[in-house]
Structure 1
């Protein structure tokens, strides 16, 4: 079974434009993100748009040796479907590029669990019920099911948010499996990049605490010991689907 990671990236983010191209510790957040994903040993594909604003994403990804698939900005489901076909994937790990500190071991655990079953209708995630910090999220599913969603989904939200056709079980036969964090509940922490305050936290973690080399448990421990870090972005509300 050929499983690959597809990460979606674009420069036209609304709350923090070109956020993945901002830098911390001498690298863009996109480069940090791709470095972490590469540590899984899985193929990594960057799914971006055909917009000219996304040329820097294409250039950075290509320079680092990661293939890029370009498609619709709003119909992200079709973008993923195109990447799946181009690379002949049997299984897909979906992540988003605003997670520069995603833990490769966390992703690998999910992939191992998916491989152990490998059912065509299985959907594995660690955020159906949140226990991990935001920024560690992944979803894993069969390529066949995503291609079926691409063929059948008509709701704009399903086209934009890629996997809602699967995890909302619109076909009625999906098996949903949530893998919680064995370290307890760290869902109060935001290690994702969406606002300037998120950027301040992530930059501090990378430049002052060596976060680029740390795993999820290490990062949670730092956040627990330094409430002033949590205070940097604890007020940020996650954007709802459709916003």
Structure 2
């Protein structure tokens, strides 16, 4: 490579990408990412929503290497996402491998069980990182957003450091746990303007979740644009039975409190 091409490589614009964690296995609802939601798979909804996030250059899925996960990788490819296959248990290593494969500098991590994630909210998290230059930005360091709208952005440099330094099994499974607890990390939080709605559950972990998500999706317009979390919340508020169930199942798993905030 000559000096000109070397200089061009150095000057190349940073790549911002989404890494979607997706696998067939699930303790409570195996195969959930390939289940039908409004005539399409849950994963296809997640990929489409991620593709609509302003400022994102590439969307990729980090999928385990196992044969059982081949259908997940195939579905991701069908929906226009890049695919990286890695270790199932070392999720940190798998997400980092995906980021490396796509030459990402800034990584937005999404899980494949959040089909109602809001591209506008995700774009807000990304903008906050760009404005502040923070190492880590999320909308769940303080409880306020509905469960299922979770979004976090981290520099690849910190993913690399976490992968090198983290030895605890929990830190390898929960990708950013080590980063969120590290005292040297500059972190920022995207707040929800208005009353907290963190008690509302819009994610997929159980058959009950699937039933309620199907009920919501059936009333939403098709396509990835034209609606966001505010419309979903209005639909929930207008359906007392649904609202009661979602409120009753609203929960966070403790990771959000890792900072003691």
Q: Classify the TM-score, shorter chain.
A: over 0.9
Query: Distance in 1 between the 2:148 and 2:240 partners?
Result: 18
Q: CA shift at 1:178, angstroms?
A: 1.2
Q: CA shift at 1:181, angstroms?
A: 1.2
State the Cα deviation string for residues 105-164 of structure 1 (Å, max 9, x = none): 000011111111224xx2110011121111100111110000110011000000000100
Moved over 4 A (4+): none
Map 1:55-70 → 2, pairs under 5 A = 55-70=70-85
Map 1:151-170 → 2, pairs under 5 A = 151-169=164-182
Query: Distance in 2 between the 1:144 and 1:14 partners?
Result: 31
Q: Which ranges of structure 2 fall in alignment gaps of 5 or more residues? A: 1-13, 256-261
Which TM-score applies when normalising by structure 2? Answer: 0.86
CA contact (8 A) 1:197 1:233 kept: no
State the Cα deviation string for residues 38-59 of structure 1 (Å, max 9, x = none): 1114211100101112111111
Q: Residue 114 of structure 1 aligns with which residue?
A: 129
Which structure is larger by alpha-carbon Rg, 1 or 2?
A: 2
Q: Which ranges of structure 1 fall in alignment gaps of 5 or more residues? A: none
Map 1:157-236 → 2, pairs under 5 A = 157-169=170-182, 172-210=183-221, 213-236=226-249
Q: Secondary structure at the match of 2:170?
A: helix
Query: Distance in 2 between the 1:80 and 1:24 partners?
Result: 26
Q: CA shift at 1:220, angstroms?
A: 1.2
Map 1:27-38 → 2, pairs under 5 A = 27-38=40-51
Q: Residue 87 of structure 2 aligns with which residue?
A: 72
Q: Structure 1 residues 225 and 183, CA, compared in 2 at 3 Å: closer, same or farther?
A: farther
Q: CA shift at 1:238, angstroms?
A: 4.2
Q: Structure 1 residues 117 and 237, CA, compared in 2 at 3 Å: closer, same or farther?
A: closer
Which TM-score applies when normalising by structure 1? Answer: 0.92
